[in-house]
Every structure is written in structure tokens, then in C-alpha cells.
Structure 1
Amino acid sequence: MPLKNSKILLLFFLISYLGISQNKEFKDTVNSTQNEYVHFYKNRLITRIYYVNTSNSLTVNHENSGKSLDFNANKQSRIGASVAFRKLAISYSYAPEFISTNKNNESSKLFNLNLRGFYKRRWMQTIKVYNEKGFYAKNTVQSIYLPNTESFKIGGSTSYIFNDNFSYRALASQNERQLKNAGSFIPGVTYYYSNYHLNTEGKLDENNLKRKYNSYDLLLSPSYFYNYVPNKNILISGGSTLGLGVNYSTSENNNITTLITELGFSGTVTYDLTNLYIGSHFNYLILKHNTNRSLYVKDDIPYFQFFVGYRFKASKKLVKTAEDFNEKIIPIIPNI
């Protein structure tokens, strides 16, 4: 625990050095506004501390018996900190034992990574990784811990934002600020690879299951988001996604291709005081697909984040380094 805490302290010492040690001759361009709808914090160091609760839970139904099992990951809650400047971000988080959902079954693990990058404002790329070991299996009569049950999921989406007056960064990373109400249709392509190892042998009296399978998803995922600005300090954002595509699964030498549906909801509330901001973000993703003739899986991924952040004025040295970096590297870099 002391080592983990020291890493977070080191991160904020880095914030202090890069953001506060400034050259007085440097002219800050933070007040530049792209248009009357969006304010861009070009030379601000965006920092935040946050609490995250997320998991990749599964519901497995045996079509022949009509019985089902719910698989839920053990460790779900984390705290962390991040530093972002323009298109570069650094973050660190961990699951502390003092949070109640993390106390039991120390052998379990949960790793979650969310990256988002922008190219020429309209193109948006997301990458998500979930790796979990140690699940609770629940049916109508009992809940049993399964240390050998694992899941791994990696994927993301490529999207196009139609409306320049709509700022997705204002709700996702707070390095922009929505000044007036605006919404946008955002079509995209979503793709995931998943690997599941379900093992309940010796743990349940019935519905025992031991199975490994791989799953590949490809969907067209149109969405719509709207940023509502009731006053200069508050941003309320909401959006939904409805996708349809194809799933290809392999399990014990049995391959099958089926349709897959995607349903997603998200909402964000942010209270902003120029440089200090506080808010929360919620997202829920549901993927439904058949993996083979006798097994049906519903894949649920809830995500909740509460955050507090501050925008520091960047030093002249940091600004020059970023500009030199952008000249040499194609700017498709994670933004959060």
C-alpha cells in the first residue's frame, strides 16, 4: 500500500513541476476560443483524481435446461490520478483493500484500460481492455467464488463526429468546454475480441460448467450525444448507442457465426469553475450474442467514474516540448 500511494504522490509532484514552474515571459493562449460553442484549453495541464467502478459481467443460459448463471468479477473499485496535456495523457489507478468490494479473495484481479484519441477534431478512436480473474457465480440458491474463472476483452470503436459545435472532449476529458447547447450524430464501427474461461467444477451442485471459447464481434454502431449547458458552470450530457453486427465464436472445435446486438447508454454531469471542476460519468454497454447451439451469453459492462480535477497553466518548457513532439509524431495519440 505505501508503494502504491507513493506513485500517486509522485504523479502530483510531476503536476506541480510541469504546471506551476512557469516562465513569466510566456504568453498564455488559454483564452483562445475555437468558436462561440466551444472553448479549447490549449496550454493547460489537465489533472484529475478519480474513483472508478467497472466490470465485465456475464449471464450464461443453458438453453436445454432453462437454467442460468450470473458471473460477476470480484474486484471492481479503483482510485487513481491522471495528467493530460493536449494529446498526451498519463494515468495510474489501483484497487485498495479498504474499499468493501475489494476486501475478499486477494487472488482475484481486475485490469481495465480506456483510451480515447482524436484526429482533426471529427474522427474519434477508442480502445478498451478488460482482464479479470476470480468471479462469483450466482444462481437462484447460492453464490460461489470461482478463482479459476477468467475473461479477457480488447476492442474499441472508430467514430465520426458530424457537428463541429459539439465537444465530446468537454464531457470525456475536460480539456474543452461547451459554451452553448449542441448535439451530434456520431456513427461508428465497434469491434471486440473476447476470451472466456468458465470453470465451476467442484463448486456448484448443479449447472457445472467448464468451457473455453473465443469470440469476435464486429458491429455498425450509430449513436447520438447532446451537451446541455443550463448555465456557465454546469454541463449535462447524455447519449445512446444502438448497434447491429456479426459475432464469430469458437469453442471446443465448434465454430458458429451469429448476429449480435449492442445497446449503450451514457451520461455525464460536470460542475466547472474555470480551472477547478468536479463531476461524474456513467456508461452501460450490453452485448447479446449466441456462442453456440446450447450456450447463450449476455455481456454487460457497467462503468461509473467520479472525478475532481484542476487545470494548471503549463510552463513554457512543457509547451515547447509538446509542439516539437507534435511536429514529429502523427497526432493520433490517446487523449484520456
Structure 2
Amino acid sequence: MSSQEIRPYDLEKQAEHATLKEYDSTYRVNYFENIIIKVFSTTNTNRFQAQSLDGENLFELEPLGEYLIGASFDYKWVALEVSWTPNFLFSSVEKELAKSATNISTSLNFFYSDQWRQELKYTYIKGFRNNRVTESTSNIDFSNTVFNLIQGSTFFIANPNFSFRSYYAQTERQLKSAGSFIPRMIYSFAFTKPNLVFEVPEVNNLDEIRSFDIVAQVGYIHTFVINKKWYATLGLHSGAGSNFSKYFFVNNTEENFDSIFFTYESEAAIGYNSYRWFFGLSGNWRNYNNNNNESNQFNRDFGFFSLHLGYRFNDNKPMRKFFGWFEDHLGF
């Protein structure tokens, strides 16, 4: 059998899945019986806008590791992904500053059912630059500042004929143009070690910041398909959330803050998606706009541009048996 020919077993499982989940198989086709390997490169333009507690200084912090490479593994209902910034991707100007800098992200994503999706992600960033330098902040070193983020999101794809998997992870292919409303709940816990020491008696140095966010968001994503293989996807989302933050100081005192904020997100992608090979470009921009800058550790402006290339391999019977247990007993 040619490597480009789809196995009869795969065709049977695709038809079975469409019948079980009650969607129109002329709109989407899944590749759950394939092992899907993807490599990607990402330009990470995350920016964190922080205000000093006295309100005198405003910092616009950006990770020194702004370029990442990564890989993902997808099979059936589960997806594992890791990305990082290797040393050679740090700019030559910041080589010395970035000696101890790190930027790494890992994620685990899966579907509860055909339309309910769960995402879990951990991000660790060490080393920032300040893009808003003033006379009073020019000598502050952020190269040892550490940011940790644990984030989860749960969302529902309202239209069963729209393939979110095709757009996000390429475990499916959208065959005909379709779109869907997607309500989503996002929750995250962040803890930050500024590692900044001001040798001034009246300054109470900040030791750590811990914060919890919960966001309710609603959006719409639409994929336009040409000749069943070429696609373009556009999405817009908005929502509101609450932030609860606690500041810990070196003199063992604490301060609590909370705020309401609004989120805006846009995303776009173009690419090619065939049976075996797929590749594409995607971009995303998200803004968390707090109504009170002091009540949160950061105003956040997240953005990325990503290039990916992937291939689908045939699976084997031992893998089907292991992952099939979860499908049979948990309904994935």
C-alpha cells in the first residue's frame, strides 16, 4: 500500500466517529487513527506592563527568549506539546544578559467529547528586558526576574460540523467552509519572583507576587476551505474576568488586590492540510486590560506568530488498545 493511501481501517473508524458524534462527514474528516508529529517555530511577543507600587514608574517587560521552537505529539483524543528557546535564538546583543534566561512551555490538551475541549498549560520564563526605559529605571536589571504561569481553559464548540481540531492541532481536516460560536472559560495561577533589590531604606522590596485569574469569554471562529486542502481561518473573541493578587514583601508583610478586567482576542491562520502532510502559518493576539493597574501584577498583551510543519503516521494495535481503554471507559 502506498504511504499516501488511506487504510480501510481508517475509513471505517472515520465513518463510525461521524455517526457516533452526529456530524456531517462531508464537512470534516478525522485522523484519530494516525500518530501526528508536528514541529513549529514561534515568535513570542508577550508583553507585561507592570507599575511600581508607588505609582512613579511604569515598566513594559518582554521576555529575552522571544523566539521558540517546539514539537507536538497527537493521537486519538490527547495532545502533548513542548516549546523552548535554545541559546542560539537569543539575539547577539543580549547574549551576555541572557546567559541564565529561560523560556519554556508545555501543554496537555484533550477532548471530553467531540465538542467539549480541555487545555492545560505551564509556562516558565526567566529573564526580561524593559522596553520602557527612563532615567530612573535605566539601571534596573530584569534578567533574573522569574514568571510562572499555570493555565487551563474549557470550551465548547457549538457547531458539530466545524472542526476546531483541524485549525488548532491538525488532527482533522475541514473539507467544507464552516464556523462556530465558542464559549470558553479560562483560569490561571501566576507567581512571579521580581528578584529586584533597591538599596534604599524607605523602599520595602517586593519578594513575590501571586495572582489568580478567571475569565469568561465568547467568540466565533470560521474556516474557509478551497479544494478541500487549502484553508484560511479567522477568529474574534471577547470576555471579562476577575483577578485576585497578593504581594509578598521581604519584611514579611503582605498586600491584597483584586480587579475586574476585559479581554480581547483575535486570531488568523492559513495553510495546507492533506492526508499525510500539513503546514501553515498562524497568529494570535490577546489583551488583558485591567481597570486598575495597581491591582494586578501585570497588564498583559500576548501575541505570537507561528510556522508549523507536520506529518501523519500509521498507528499500531498496541497503541489502539491502550488509548482505546480511555475511549471505552471515559467516553473520549
TM-score norm. by structure 1 comes to 0.79
Instruction: Indicate how the Cα distance of structure 1 residues 100 and 247 shifts in structure 2: closer, same or farther if over 3 A, else same.
Output: closer
- 2:144 is paired with a residue whose SS is strand
Is 1:48 the counterpart of 2:38? The answer is: yes
Residues 187 and 222, structure 1, Cα contact 8 Å, conserved in 2: yes
Instruction: Indicate how the Cα distance of structure 1 residues 100 and 325 shifts in structure 2: closer, same or farther if over 3 A, else same.
Output: same
Residues 78 and 111, structure 2, Cα contact 8 Å, conserved in 1: no
User: What are the ranges of 5 or more consecutive residues in structure 1 without an aligned counterpart?
Assistant: 1-19, 21-25
Counterpart selection for 2:125 from 122, 129, 132: 132
Residues 162 and 184, structure 1, Cα contact 8 Å, conserved in 2: yes
Residue 257 of structure 1, CA deviation: 2.4
How far apart, CA to CA, are the structure 1 residues paired with 2:185 and 2:55? 36
Instruction: Indicate how the Cα distance of structure 1 residues 143 and 230 shifts in structure 2: closer, same or farther if over 3 A, else same.
Output: farther
How far apart, CA to CA, are the structure 2 residues paired with 1:166 and 1:302? 25
- How many residue pairs match? The answer is 304
Range moving further from structure 2, 73-82 or 257-266 = 73-82
Residues 293 and 299, structure 2, Cα contact 8 Å, conserved in 1: no
Is 1:70 the counterpart of 2:60? The answer is: yes
Amino acid at match of 1:194: A
Amino acid at match of 1:308: L
Is 1:28 the counterpart of 2:9? The answer is: yes
Instruction: Indicate how the Cα distance of structure 1 residues 269 and 103 shifts in structure 2: closer, same or farther if over 3 A, else same.
Output: farther
Counterpart selection for 2:163 from 150, 164, 167: 167
Alignment match, 2:75: 85
Residue 248 of structure 1, CA deviation: 1.4
User: What are the ranges of 5 or more consecutive residues in structure 2 without an aligned counterpart?
Assistant: 19-24, 249-253
Amino acid at match of 2:68: R
Alignment match, 2:301: 300
How far apart, CA to CA, are the structure 1 residues paired with 2:324 and 2:294? 55
Alignment match, 2:176: 180
Instruction: Indicate how the Cα distance of structure 1 residues 236 and 293 shifts in structure 2: closer, same or farther if over 3 A, else same.
Output: closer
Amino acid at match of 1:187: P
User: What does the per-residue CA deviation read over 1:148-197, in whole Å, with 9 as the maximum and x for residues that have no partner?
Assistant: 31111112211111100111000111111111111111112211111122
Amino acid at match of 2:65: K
Mapping of residues 134-149 of structure 1, within 5 Å: 134-141=127-134, 142=138, 145-149=141-145
Instruction: Indicate how the Cα distance of structure 1 residues 51 and 302 shifts in structure 2: closer, same or farther if over 3 A, else same.
Output: same
Alignment match, 2:87: 97
TM-score norm. by structure 2 comes to 0.80
Amino acid at match of 1:192: S
Instruction: Indicate how the Cα distance of structure 1 residues 115 and 283 shifts in structure 2: closer, same or farther if over 3 A, else same.
Output: farther
Residues 46 and 312, structure 1, Cα contact 8 Å, conserved in 2: yes
User: What does the per-residue CA deviation read over 1:235-269, in whole Å, with 9 as the maximum and x for residues that have no partner?
Assistant: 11111221112211212422222212111121222
Residues 254 and 292, structure 1, Cα contact 8 Å, conserved in 2: no
Is 1:228 the counterpart of 2:224? The answer is: yes
The sequence identity of aligned pairs, in percent, is 26
How far apart, CA to CA, are the structure 2 residues paired with 1:164 and 1:146? 47
Alignment match, 1:3: none
Amino acid at match of 1:212: E
Mapping of residues 184-203 of structure 1, within 5 Å: 184-201=180-197
Residues 227 and 237, structure 1, Cα contact 8 Å, conserved in 2: yes
How far apart, CA to CA, are the structure 2 residues paired with 1:69 and 1:209? 16
Range moving further from structure 2, 269-278 or 312-321 = 312-321
User: What does the per-residue CA deviation read over 1:85-144, in whole Å, with 9 as the maximum and x for residues that have no partner?
Assistant: 112344454432222448442211122123322122111112222211111123244486
Residues 80 and 108, structure 2, Cα contact 8 Å, conserved in 1: no
Alignment match, 1:288: 289
Residue 227 of structure 1, CA deviation: 1.0
Is 1:262 the counterpart of 2:258? The answer is: no
